[in-house]
Amino acid sequence: MNVKPHALLSAALLLCAGLLPAHAQSNWTVKNLMHIGGPGGWDYLTVDPATHRLYVPRSTHTMVIDADSGKVIADIPGQKIAHGVAIVPEVGRGFISDGGGSGAVVIFDLKTNAVLGTIAAQPDADGIIYDHASGLVLVVSGDGGVLMTLKPDLDPVHGKIDPPIALGGKPEFLAADNDGKVYINLEDKDRLAVVDLRARKVLAHWPVAPGGEPVGLALDARKGRLFIGCRKPPKMIVMSTNNGKVLAGLPIGAGVDAVKVDRGDAFASCRDGSLVVVAEKSPGEFEVAQIVKTPVGARTMGIDSSTHTIYLPTAEFEPAKPGASRPEAKPETFMIVVVAKSEE
């Protein structure tokens, strides 16, 4: 069914009005719209809190944007379908997951933004992160159904990715703790895979019910909680890392893609124009604290952990065409939505 953007926004506002008790209101707000332009779609946005740079894959290229000014610092070419970026300041490199063709990981220099090399990967290379505990870059392949690992200092021209770890489903995004475990959403199985990096095997598959089709994922390692953004039905699932027990299942907007955690709060960015803020109101009890109205299409995000600012990529859209799964973005309207807390 095709839904017009203005209808989605109206639904989000009605959801906001009906969901939130007065005492739960937070104070996040849209502070700025940085108009960037340029061709291509977009996927996961990565923030470097040390340099305040935003890394935004744009299909065939990846933009490097100054978060303070909105200026494009660099534009890294040469990808087929760029999905995400992992940065490893310790070795001065960045890694772009390229899901086009047979799959690849593009390695670039963080100072010059020059491409250093391209490493062959599995098809549909998608979610990518750097795990500080293991010292590995972690990449999932949706079509391959595997987790891939690589050392960030490998030879960027002749190096190879480690043998893949079969996951038993189609992975979407992932999070790593400080104890050698990786948690990975299996979108087609309605489950979360728990991987032991040392043993290089799956330890468990945890159901995400009452959620389904899990995509976004974030981890609060200190409290041992996973926050899982599900599309069918649209829910934020809060899960314990101890045993996979579901602690809460809260309603969110339609078309979630990314979930992030900052200072104990969890955020779900949704295509319908809603940024849902989930807070722990008492130990083990969670609630929707706020729904921030954003432009339609702002489904992914990154958070600068040093400034606690949220950045969401989107664009302006044409009216949805009959039979199309989603409306097309208007040319040169790509933008970054800046969300931060209002001053008390």
Range of the domain at 114: 51-207
Q: What is the CATH number of the domain that holds 117?
A: 2.130.10.10
The residues, ordered by sequence, that sit 6+ positions from 187 with a Cβ below 8 Å of its Cβ are 142, 169, 170, 171, 172, 213, 214, 215
Mean pLDDT, residues 240-250: 97
Asked if the structure places residue 331 within a domain, the reply is no
- The chain-wide mean pLDDT, for the chain, equals 92
How many structural domains is the chain composed of? 1
pLDDT in tens, 185-232: 999 999 999 999 999 999 999 999 999 999 999 999 999 999 999 999
Asked if the structure places residue 187 within a domain, the reply is yes
Helices (H), the chain: 5-19
Per-residue confidence (pLDDT) for residue 21, from 0 to 100: 41
pLDDT in tens, 292-313: 999 999 999 999 999 999 999 9
Asked if the structure places residue 163 within a domain, the reply is yes
Residue 215: enclosing H or E segment and its boundaries? strand 214-220
Asked whether the beta carbons of 259 and 266 are under 8 A apart, the reply is: yes
Residue percentage of the chain with pLDDT more than 70: 92
Mean pLDDT, residues 256-265: 97
Judge whether residue 28 has pLDDT over 50. Answer: yes
Residue showing tokens 């890392």: 241
Asked if the structure places residue 58 within a domain, the reply is yes
Asked if the structure places residue 116 within a domain, the reply is yes
pLDDT in tens, 136-146: 999 999 999 99
Dihedral over Cα of 326, 327, 333, 336: its sign: negative
Asked if the structure places residue 8 within a domain, the reply is no
Asked if the structure places residue 11 within a domain, the reply is no
Per-residue confidence (pLDDT) for residue 15, from 0 to 100: 45
Judge whether residue 62 has pLDDT over 80. Answer: yes
Judge whether residue 6 has pLDDT over 60. Answer: no
Asked whether the beta carbons of 62 and 85 are under 8 A apart, the reply is: yes
pLDDT in tens, 101-133: 999 999 999 999 999 999 999 999 999 999 999
Cα distance between the two ends of the chain: 42
- Give the chain's radius of gyration (CA, Å): 19
Q: Residue by residue, what is the 3-state secondary structure of 105-153?
A: EEEEECCCCCEEEEEECCCCEEEEEEECCCCEEEEEECCCCEEEEECCC
Per-residue confidence (pLDDT) for residue 342, from 0 to 100: 87
d(CA 99, CA 80): 7
Asked if the structure places residue 291 within a domain, the reply is no
Residue 16's Cα: distance from chain center in Å? 23
Per-residue confidence (pLDDT) for residue 25, from 0 to 100: 53
